[in-house]
Amino acid sequence: MLIGELAEHAGTSARTLRYYESRGLLRADRSSNGYRTYDAAEVRVVREIRALLAVGFALDDIRPFVACLRAGNASGDVCPDSVAVLRRKLAEVDAAVARLGEVREQLRTQLTHAITHREETCTPQRPSCWSQ
Amino acid sequence: MLIGELAEHAGTSARTLRYYESRGLLRADRSSNGYRTYDAAEVRVVREIRALLAVGFALDDIRPFVACLRAGNASGDVCPDSVAVLRRKLAEVDAAVARLGEVREQLRTQLTHAITHREETCTPQRPSCWSQ
DNA sequence: CCTTGCCTTGACGCCGGTGGCAGGGTCTAG
DNA sequence: CTAGACCCTGCCACCGGCGTCAAGGCAAGG
């Protein structure tokens, strides 16, 4: 399988696949003319990468999952390194949710405050209130 | 007030203040030698900018708040344009929270699945499971 | 032979907020 | 006069995951 075919099967671009290779996530054999040649199994690997990226993983985080798949496991998740990354990411997501929750509260407070004070200060008698 | 003083009062760098100016958020008079000169009121403006940036606003989003402060309002929040941005940001944050919630669930599912299947597949009898 | 369409490597662009440097002017105190 | 601490403009670097262009090699069909 050439790189264009792999890209199409996996739903991405050849450029992207070369980038993954440069980052150590993909490997390719080369045929005599220098073209990259892929085994059909690489489709799964690329799909795994895309799926994890979509969830918010960085390429460096994804390496263990790829190694796990390559080791012959049915899923990239089951190896200890992958589990460690999953745990870490879960913690990060929890932290992000918490922070966003605080931001949300602050925004709500600001909005309430703004609407309240608009009654007092933004009147046709005081047009300087309007920013435009 | 010179740019270095303003930077110190507002807790940031002169470089940053020049950048804000280049983006249309700050204005400065120039003294005869070409140095930027600031009114003491600019400290509040810069602080407003920093506070909104810290919450996750982009510089372009912050413009209305600055205009609102400049118009003489006690808070940058009270003008209609600011309120509109606040509403939009709140919606964005809500969306982000929702998405992260889904991601969190997926991660939890993956983790549970991984740990369950590790029992079956990752044994000393099948060392290829381990990615390292 | 020529075109078409794939492949190759290499390099720059993007986005946003800032740091940092180069190369110069200005002001002030000693 | 000079040192040092400011100030000025302008430009490169960063981070990450690519898009995109350049310039060329290779395969296959008319």
Nucleotide nearest to A60 (CA to C1'): D16
Q: How many domains in chain B?
A: 1
On whether residue A132 sits in a domain, the answer given is no
C-alpha pair distances (Å), B82 with each of A125, B15, B37: 20, 26, 27
- Report the chain B residue with the minimal C-alpha distance to residue A56: B103
What is the per-residue pLDDT for A62? 97
B102: CATH: 1.10.1660.10
In chain A, which residues have their Cβ closer than 8 Å to the Cβ of B131?
Answer: 64, 67-68, 71, 79-82
* Structural domain harbouring A95: 3-122
Q: Taking 70 as the threshold, does the pLDDT of residue A118 lie above it?
A: no
Q: What is the pLDDT of residue A131?
A: 45
- DSSP code of A74? S
Please say whether the beta carbons of A59 and A85 come within 8 A: no
pLDDT digits (tens, 9 = 90+) for A75-115: 999 999 999 999 999 999 999 999 999 999 999 999 998 88
Protein residue nearest nucleotide C19, by CA to C1': B15
Q: Is residue A128 part of a domain?
A: no
Map tokens 């799926």 to a residue.
A51
The C1' atom of C18 and the CA atom of A8 lie apart, in whole Å, by: 39
pLDDT band at A128 (very low <50, low <70, confident <90, very high): low
Q: What angle do CA A28, A32, A38 make, to 5 degrees?
A: 25
Residue A16 maps to a domain: yes
Nucleotides of strand D under 7 angstroms from a protein beta carbon: 6-9, 16-21, 26-27
Residue B130 included in any domain: no
Report chain A residues whose CB lies below 8 A from the CB of B89: 107
Best to test chain B binding among A66, A110, A112, A129 (most B CBs inside 10 Å) = A110
Whether B131 maps to a domain, the answer reads no
Per-residue model confidence (pLDDT) at position B121:
56
**Alpha carbons B48 and A46: distance in angstroms, whole number:** 45
Residue A127 lies in a domain: no
Structural domain includes residue B76 = yes
Residue that wins the pLDDT comparison between A118 and A107: A107
| Residue A58 domain flag | yes
Higher pLDDT, A123 or B69: B69
pLDDT tens digits for range A11-62: 999 999 999 999 999 999 999 999 999 999 999 999 999 999 999 999 999 9
Residues of chain B scoring pLDDT < 70: 118-132
Output the average pLDDT for chain A: 91
* A29: β partners: A37
Q: Which residues of A75-113 are buried (b: 16+ CB within 10 A; e: fewer)?
A: bbbbbbebbebbeebbeebeebeeebeebbeebeebbee
- Is the minimum distance from the CB of B26 to strand D below 7 Å? no
* The pLDDT of residue A125: 52
* Alpha carbon distance B24, B20 (integer Å): 6
